[in-house]
Each structure stands twice: as C-alpha cells, then as structure tokens.
Structure 1
C-alpha cells in the first residue's frame, strides 16, 4: 500500500493537489488510451481513472511487488 502511495506521490510531482495537471500522468494516459495529452481535462483524467480502475490497481500492486523485490535483493 505504501509503495502505491509513494508511486502516486512521485508521479504527481509538481501537481500533487491537481493530478490532472501532471505532465507525467497526462503523458501516461495518452500512451495508454490514445487520448491527446494536450486536451485532457480534469474530467477526462478522472473518467479514465474510474474506467480503468481495475488495471490501475493492478499496476499499483505490481509496483509494490517490484519495490519489495528490489529491497530483498539488496
């Protein structure tokens, strides 16, 4: 859980209270969905997050697994 929060914290750097303004998140949404990052609004970002919530939660769980594996290998 903390790995997920840490990833989100780092991914929204510079736009933490307004994640829809995060260039990184907009770029990732554009890469994943094909929607143009330049025209994404807050509504588009939240709609994407809601529609893709299962995949996003799976991704965040995976980032946690990766982080734990890295810590074990050190």
Structure 2
C-alpha cells in the first residue's frame, strides 16, 4: 500500500518540494519519453505525468510488488 509513496519519497530525495528538479525523475522521463532531461520544465514534467498517469501507476504498483518480494523471507 505504501510502496508507491516510498518509491516517490526516495526518487525525489534532495528535491521533495520541487520534484520536477529531481535528477532521478528527470532521467527516468528522458529514458522513457526521449525528451532531454536538461530542458524539462515544471510544466513538461507535470504534463508528462498526467498524460502517462496510468502507466506510472502500474509502474508504482510493480515497484511495490518487487519490494514486497525482496523482503519476503525464503
């Protein structure tokens, strides 16, 4: 349940009040969309997040599953 929030908290480390300046999130957007990370503005980051919201939610759910599986004891 809290895994997506944990991922976002870790991904925006150093720029939590300004997530569009997060190096990690900008790099992820660049690798996913092909837009240059150095040229991304706040409007473009939020526009990308809104346009890709369902894919991002699926990704966040997947990260939660991976983290849960990693913590599971054999």
TM-score, reference length from structure 1: 0.95
1:36 match: 36
1:5 match: 5
Task: Using the TM superposition, give the Cα deviation of residue 73 of structure 1 relative to its aligned residue in structure 2, in angstroms.
Answer: 3.1
Moved over 3 A (4+): none
> How is 1:1-74 mapped onto 2 (pairs within 5 angstroms)?
1-73=1-73
Query: Which structure shows the higher helix fraction?
Result: 1
In structure 1, what is the Cα distance between the partners aligned to 2:43 and 2:31? Answer: 18
Q: Once superposed, what is the RMSD of the aligned Cα atoms?
A: 0.9
1:11-66 C-alpha deviation (Å, 9 max, x unpaired)? 00000010000011001100000000011000000000000001000000001111
Q: For structure 2, which runs of at least 5 residues remain unmatched after alignment?
A: none
In structure 1, what is the Cα distance between the partners aligned to 2:41 and 2:35? Answer: 11
TM-score, reference length from structure 2: 0.95
